[in-house]
Amino acid sequence: MTREQSQNWKHAVVTGGGGFVGSHLCTALLASGTEVTCVDDFSTGRPENVSPLLGHPGFTLIRANVAESLTVERPPDLVLHFASPASPADYLRLPLHTLETGSLGTRNALRLAHRAGARFLLASTSEVYGDPQQNPQDERYWGNVNPVGPRSVYDEAKRFGEAFTTAHAEAEGTDTGIVRLFNTYGPRMRGHDGRAVPTFIRQALAGEPLTVTGDGRQTRSLCYVDDTVRGILAAAAHGMRGPVNIGNPTELTMLELAHLVIELTGASSQIRFIDRPTDDPVVRCPDITLAGDKLGWQPRIGAEEGLRRTIDWFRATEEHTKHHADHQADHQAEQQADQQADQH
């Protein structure tokens, strides 16, 4: 296996930098000495994901919808296009926004990179493979996608983004790359975003039943966010067009995942089976041979360790939120008491 690729960038623009993966990218780039401009409209990302970065001298935050415009003060040498609703709860709620971000947003990000002579990297997804008839999925597989189903707004936005990126490289000579991200999880996920890991952890910590769709035998391959970020930056540094799969090839059934979360949280939760969503893939597993051979990349963090870290983060966040709420309630009670004292 080759050595993992790396490069020192001067200035990176990260669209969707307030999101789950995007915010981790911003953090990693800043830690490597790269100045970062984060662009996000916070339609699905969260300001608190990047609030710790606001005091960093190399960090700039621009609140904007990349489908409408994308302007930065100084040229970047790297553009990472990660803007997009990514969870079913989000893209089903924001179907047109998802399609516009994948089309117009990709166009604007490509134009920015082309004008600056920058490296451009598109965040695509394993969802371009649809409900695959090949397992594991390698980059040569064209997929099995329903273009008019409820998930199509996300699947087709990403497939179009790949086509646009490829055409821009061919027609304009833009330095482009495509990464297909498989199921990524870790700190900063939203408990109600509809994805299995945060949903199961939230339910387990609350002592609620874990809702497993269908019979729970459908599989996913879970890649911890730190590993995903390393793979993304390795693909950016290599210069390959791709697409290249970035994910963990260890498959888990959803029922296995639910039981593992119950075990790691120490919860007494039961399993409750609910209907599976339309067009929900039966299997999902990346072939990462290309990433290993070309980028020198492979995941390092197994599911149990990654889930422990994620559970610890959810616990800490829950305690912080409860402490903040209690503090606010105490403050309000003090104000009311003062007002009543004044009245008397």
Residue with tokens 């990179």: 113
Asked whether 110 and 43 are in contact (CB, 8 A), the reply is no
SS3 14: strand
Residue from 91, 129, 141, 154 carrying the catalytic annotation:
154
SS3 250: coil
Asked whether 270 and 44 are in contact (CB, 8 A), the reply is no
202/316 Cα distance (integer angstroms): 12
CB neighbours of residue 15 within 10 Å? 29
Asked whether 217 and 241 are in contact (CB, 8 A), the reply is no
Instruction: Retrieve residue 174's tokens.
Output: 């833009």
SS3 149: coil
Query: Over the Cα atoms of the chain, what is R_g?
Result: 21
* Active site (annotated) includes residue 91: no
DSSP 94-108: SHHHHHHIIIIIHHH
195 Cβ contact list (under 8 Å, min separation 6): 87, 88, 183, 185, 189
Active site (catalytic) residues: 154
